[in-house]
Structure 1
Amino acid sequence: MTETRNEITCTILATSDIHGHLYPTDYRSKEELPLGLAKIATMIRKERELHPDLLLIDNGDLIQGTPLASYAVKYKEGIHPAIEACNALQYDAAVPGNHEFNYGLEVLKGAIEDSSFPWLSAGIVDAATGEPAFGKPYLIKQAGEGIRVAILGVTTHYIPNWEHAHHIQGLQFRDALESVKWWAAHIREVEAPDLLIVAYHGGFERDMETGEAAERLTGENQAYAICREAEGIDVLITGHQHRLIADEVCGVAVVQPGSGGQALGKIEVSFVREGGRWVITGKRAELLTSLNSIPADETILELASGIESATQEWLDQTIGHVDGNMTVADPFVCRIADNPFMEFVNRVQLESAGVSVSNAALLNEASKGFGPVITLRDVLTYFMYPNTLVVLRLTGQDIRDALEQTAAYFRSGENGTLEVNPAYLAPKAQHYNYDMWEGIRYELDIARPAGERVSKLQTMEGADIHPHMEFEVVMNNYRANGGGDYEMYKGKPVVQEILTDMADLVAEYIIRQGTVISGCDHNWQVIVSAGYTVK
């Protein structure tokens, strides 16, 4: 804060969706990238020199997302390196994101206990008592010349739609919007703060200028509604969608600083003293970007140097070889027709579950599949998330409905051009919500109307699949819980759960085989009945 007589400017810095990126490292190539908490740390320290009593908040998805984060959870004893870094940077508060739950409550609670700052989440409560599950829903800070600042934390309540039930056992996820409305009113009445900040691990469901729906309004993202309906909030920190946002919505200053340490959110709030109280006179939101010219902070690099070196050595292990071609040259082409890499992923799922039907998605657009030599780095580049497998009992109608949902990924453009549906590109890229199947034969005709695009659906033997036929289908836990708007899976009988991470299953499969054979049975394809070209 900078004081000029009766005027003060409060500075708030925010990170979100760091996803375990401490070093500015591309774990596929080892090249330096303009991201990572170490580069963000340089900007934080510079801002702190100018504003010694600034507020620093992390908005969730901190401890998961890189091979370093995976290695830390699997092999490192003691404090998670991301928590060590945040402690060193003197964060004031953090909010749990949905990926904080990926490793289970024991890991999350350990991270919270090791933090020198509180974790805030008003909407996640103990199911038995109704009390906030992680201690505090909000925090009061005294800043500058007696300014009372309230920081309210809240997390998207959509987590049960994605996460393993045993990872969130005993927790209740209350509606984030309603939680903010209730707690904001409570804070205003009881605490009478001069500034109310909401840190929300969730994103914008509507266009910020027009208010038109930018996605299907499921409740996963509610930031626009929070700005519009939650009275009395001044600043909203958002995340989850990995967007770069610095704006104002309905009089609320908002930021969203991308992912992986792409940017640091900065909000300045100006005050003037009137009648013994501080009154807000202006707000300004901006993003400070982590350019290559910004040096990484040596203290943060040193804190994580040991585990970074161990992670790189771990990733460089050769675990097997490929006979044939299992590369992914173009993710778009990969989704048009059956290909060896996705056939391999489904093959591992089928063998692990002991069933005959499987679906899987290309999880990472940056993955190039497998070259002649397979390292653990190749596996973990593809399997970004610690997903496990679930086998559901589905009907033929469920499978048809799921394929229609998958077909919504494409649209037929001008002159029969096959294009990606813009809804899967913005406000957040959702390529991982397109599934490819093994164990059935099918065609998707994108020239047909949505909901009628499954032009062929057969067993591998060529018999038509009828609505009441039953199949046991293996998929990852995110999809089995209905993630990606696959509503047809919700409530379906669970035949079995395989609680080993998919990355581990794939690595173990490759090590066991030694050499994996590239193959493809060409059981599916996407067409536009008038013909198509790739765009």
Structure 2
Amino acid sequence: MKKNIIILLLMSLLFPVEHVCGEEMEKYPQLSLRILETTDLHSHILDFDYVNKRRTIEFGLSRTASLIQQARKDQLNTLLFDVGDVIKGNALADYVASSNVLYYTDIHPAYKSMNLLKYDAATIGNHEFNYGIDFLLKSIQGADFPFVNANIYVDDQNNYDQDDIHFFSPYIILNKNIMTNNGKEMLLKVGVIGLITPITAQWDKEHLENKVKIKNMQETAEEIVPKMKKEGADIIIALVHAGLHSDNDLKEKKGNNVKDVSKVNGIDVILYGHSHSLFPKKGERSSLQVQHHTGKINGKPAVQAGFWGNHLGIIDLTLEKKAGKWSILESKSTAKPIIRIIKEKKVPIVSPYQPIEYMMSQYHRDTIDFLKKNIMKQP
């Protein structure tokens, strides 16, 4: 008995419990990562209704921005993305497009606001093309964050797909220094790919015909994602400007919706927009593929944040690294609103973010003047 006790004491001195546990923690490091999404802003930067000419609590990036600041305060490791339809949709957008704002070394006020919020990356929506390709390219030049899209190609009109060139950068790999749960800094390579519904080519035919062509989303992702993996992406986020279901007018519906994109091996997380809906949505019935109660589509964490900045999409991930590879242990998806309903009354959850309010003040005044002049021009 005494001999066994002596052996145990010697082992505890040679191999302390703290040391063994420490090795286990080092062997399988874990980290928490918060991914934020805005989508379908349609130039509703301020909480102002230009149709009814009044302020509102129901939408506006200036209010969503306050949710973004809260989300970042609560989680050190945070990424912010936009999923398209930014520069068309209200009087502010029309004012900018009809003025010389962009041609006097200025930046589109929507992207200027997004620069202030330090977005990590964004993709293109179908309405980005409504004012033409030149206006779009001039606008995104002012963004301090990269744009990605993988399935829009230059139309070389040679009917040979193998030599097609991407119109935008198909993806980017962000090198992020992330703090692990045990307080150590590690490099996380975050791959971001962008995809858009091919109906865009039909809807904006006057701007896009013979200039670009848009290919199948799922097939494009299946080609590109392995390249991202080879370049060392630890986790891949798809920014998808398309709905759960393919657009009705599309001839090729298979592969051109979020459900099909979610089946692509290697995509870990999906942020999507376009249909102005919410995912996950409380009380919505789930199916085998689309599970609102878990916030997953075909087993992949996903979120859709409504429209006009009325919600902020949030996905919280717990990642673990084993054998040199990161994998998702847990996830939680939330479409967080900027208002809540109390006794059938709409109550704001957050106030407008003052830096955006201040920065947008002159653009707002100019938009009001623009509206007045256009009313006077009407017969």
TM-score (norm 1): 0.55
The amino acid that maps onto 1:37 is L
Out of 251, 254, 257, the position equivalent to 2:299 is 251
Whole-angstrom CA distance in 1 between matches of 2:305 and 2:30: 28
1:265/1:285 contact within 8 Å kept: yes
Structure 2 equivalent of residue 263 of structure 1: 311
Structure 2 equivalent of residue 241 of structure 1: 275
In the TM superposition, residue 146 of structure 1 has moved relative to its aligned partner by 1.9
Structure 2 equivalent of residue 9 of structure 1: 32
Structure 2 equivalent of residue 86 of structure 1: 114
Whole-angstrom CA distance in 2 between matches of 1:83 and 1:42: 17
In the TM superposition, residue 155 of structure 1 has moved relative to its aligned partner by 1.2
Structure 2 equivalent of residue 150 of structure 1: 191
Structure 2 equivalent of residue 59 of structure 1: 83
Count, aligned residues: 311
1:56/1:92 contact within 8 Å kept: yes
1:277-328, Cα deviation, whole Å (9 max, x unpaired): 43321121111211223101011111111011121233245x7xxxxxxxxx
Of stretches 89-98 and 215-224 in structure 1, the one that deviates more from structure 2 is 215-224
Structure 1 equivalent of residue 332 of structure 2: 284
* Sequence identity (%): 27
Whole-angstrom CA distance in 2 between matches of 1:168 and 1:256: 30
Q: Structure 1 residues 169, 23: closer, same or farther in 2, change over 3 A?
A: farther
1:268/1:284 contact within 8 Å kept: yes
Q: Name the SS of the counterpart of 1:115 in structure 2.
A: coil
1:246-286, Cα deviation, whole Å (9 max, x unpaired): 22011111111111111111111111232444332112111
After superposition, residues 159-178 of structure 1 pair within 5 angstroms as 159-167=200-208, 169-178=210-219
1:94-151, Cα deviation, whole Å (9 max, x unpaired): 1010000000111110122111111100001122362221234333333412222111
Structure 1 equivalent of residue 72 of structure 2: 48
Q: Name the SS of the counterpart of 2:48 in structure 1.
A: coil
Q: Name the SS of the counterpart of 2:55 in structure 1.
A: coil
After superposition, residues 452-531 of structure 1 pair within 5 angstroms as 510-511=378-379
The amino acid that maps onto 1:227 is S
Q: Structure 1 residues 225, 184: closer, same or farther in 2, change over 3 A?
A: same
- Is structure 2 residue 182 aligned with structure 1 residue 134? no
Structure 2 equivalent of residue 179 of structure 1: 220
Whole-angstrom CA distance in 2 between matches of 1:109 and 1:269: 34
- Is structure 2 residue 57 aligned with structure 1 residue 33? yes
The amino acid that maps onto 2:358 is E
Whole-angstrom CA distance in 1 between matches of 2:248 and 2:137: 33
The amino acid that maps onto 2:144 is S
Whole-angstrom CA distance in 2 between matches of 1:151 and 1:168: 27
In the TM superposition, residue 218 of structure 1 has moved relative to its aligned partner by 4.3
Structure 2 equivalent of residue 364 of structure 1: none
Structure 1 equivalent of residue 9 of structure 2: none
Q: Structure 1 residues 75, 156: closer, same or farther in 2, change over 3 A?
A: same
After superposition, residues 434-453 of structure 1 pair within 5 angstroms as none
The amino acid that maps onto 1:161 is Q
**Runs of at least 5 residues in structure 2 that lack an aligned partner in the other structure:** 1-24, 157-162, 179-185, 281-294, 340-347
Whole-angstrom CA distance in 2 between matches of 1:8 and 1:174: 36
Q: Structure 1 residues 127, 217: closer, same or farther in 2, change over 3 A?
A: closer
Q: Name the SS of the counterpart of 1:271 in structure 2.
A: strand
In the TM superposition, residue 169 of structure 1 has moved relative to its aligned partner by 4.5
Q: Name the SS of the counterpart of 1:71 in structure 2.
A: helix
- Is structure 2 residue 179 aligned with structure 1 residue 123? no
Q: Name the SS of the counterpart of 1:114 in structure 2.
A: coil
Whole-angstrom CA distance in 2 between matches of 1:293 and 1:47: 13
**Runs of at least 5 residues in structure 1 that lack an aligned partner in the other structure:** 207-213, 320-374, 377-507, 512-535
TM-score (norm 2): 0.77
Whole-angstrom CA distance in 2 between matches of 1:72 and 1:219: 35
Q: Name the SS of the counterpart of 2:147 in structure 1.
A: coil
